[in-house]
Chains A and B, each alone.
Chain A
């Protein structure tokens, strides 16, 4: 079966960005929420 390195490399880059932009903003949201809760 043919494996298209170019397409899947672009896809993988997009997938890495997707995972990073789910995990890190979630972490940052909970940190911001914690800071707000502590302030109040």
Chain B
């Protein structure tokens, strides 16, 4: 890698630092720091969510899977986008109405403080460790592409830039640096796609040189077959409903309707974007067949094809994807600690100034832990994978308790939520580590146990107070903000236009499912039907939020 490329990367990091720090003066109270004063507009929110959704895994890991297994891996991103749209239309607007900053805060509103504290503490550990893994991944990629081998150098460059601008500018800084980072990611992908496709003889060359299954979207057999699409869609709904990094950005929206608009837009724009990084993965399969480690496919393609300066710009795009994830999760942990642990431990209500100071200090402390974890990751080896599996196991029971029963069944009680969550997580751990289940079976076992245990315990425990439930149930229809402004977002549409849009949305979803199930029988048109269904689903969602 030439010196000019390293200079471009350092200038980019400096620019990110300056832009992020500019927002210091925009942060006057904890809401500014944690949720950007709840003033994010739809397009900013969409860029922020898309930047969170796309990281180095997308560019290198997912493209590596495309290299090895074919284009069907696209569904991981596409069903995730469908899940974001679903959650944006039906679930997150309810949370935004309650003006919560975290899922644990919602759990206290719906259940009680015990549930909030338990989930809050678990999420702090989860995000802090995840941060270490994300930082480690960024460092390894930077080492491989730049040729600068110093582990400590890259750790400090990434960590210091992300920590400083997050401490100073909070969610405001994250939002606007995310927008810049999203642009860099897109520029990088737009440069790579035509170069990679030209090298293989464009689309006809790709079709000619790859086996048929590599270009089949809905496959009957193989690791990424039709069952994978259904499983990953369900997991996507759960992720888009409870992930703190994603939700906290969404809670920054200026209104309930903006949440829906921002999430629908985010889901839609990441869909063609996913093709921009997966097609080069397929091109690499033609250009460099037989690589032992598929994750090397894109780094090799970049180093081989891109001239100086262009390589520097593309590298900025790759770094961007990781910086946005680091800054968002740093802010997420600081918010969880300040909001769900610190404030609930105090006997008197903390002042705004005090809360803001604690949130900033926590961001710094978590940043230091992140650096420590990143140094530990190479030594932990298999433990990291095991830890991430346990984390995965814990999310599904949380979705069942918080969203399925929390929003749909009034009789679900606090004790039942606690027992249901813990027993679901325990079942998942037993399935994975004692019964040898794979990831999908483990996740569904945890979900099934939480689904069964929560209502059973609810029936033998005291119901929640009617007043508490009334607040949550009212949020399904309206908030004080919407009542005052007159701009009410109806989750179930009231107008003819809204209902027609919902019909289009539902038809798209049914067509998508038909396509996926047809794939189980190996029908040639299955992929087209599923993709057309997905497009109709997105169009229905877009009309739903903009036309009503």
Contacts and interface: CB of A to CB of B under 8 A. Distances in A.
Mutual binders A and B: yes
Interface in B177-196: 179, 182-183, 186-187, 189-190, 193-194
B273 A14 contact: yes
A10 B193 contact: yes
B99 interface: no
Contacts of B272: 10, 13-14, 17
A17 B272 CA distance: 9
B135 to A, nearest CB: 26
B44 A15 contact: no
B202 A7 contact: yes
Contacts of B190: 11, 14-15, 18
Contacts of A11: 190, 193-194, 276
Given A25-B47, A32-B39, A17 B273 contact: yes
B477 interface: no
A13 B252 CA distance: 28
A25 B43 contact: yes
A15 to B, nearest CB: 6
By size class, the interface of chain A is 20 to 34
A10 B274 CA distance: 10
Interface in B228-285: 269, 272-273, 275-276, 279
A3 B275 CA distance: 18
A18 B176 contact: no
Nearest to A21: B47
A32 B279 CA distance: 38
A11 B46 CA distance: 20
Contact of B186 (A4, A17, A28, A32): A17
Interface string A19-30: 011101100110
A4 B97 CA distance: 47
Interface of B: 26, 39, 41, 43-44, 46-47, 176, 179, 182-183, 186-187, 189-190, 193-194, 197, 202-204, 269, 272-273, 275-276, 279
Interface of A: 2, 4, 6-8, 10-11, 13-15, 17-18, 20-22, 24-25, 28-29, 32, 36
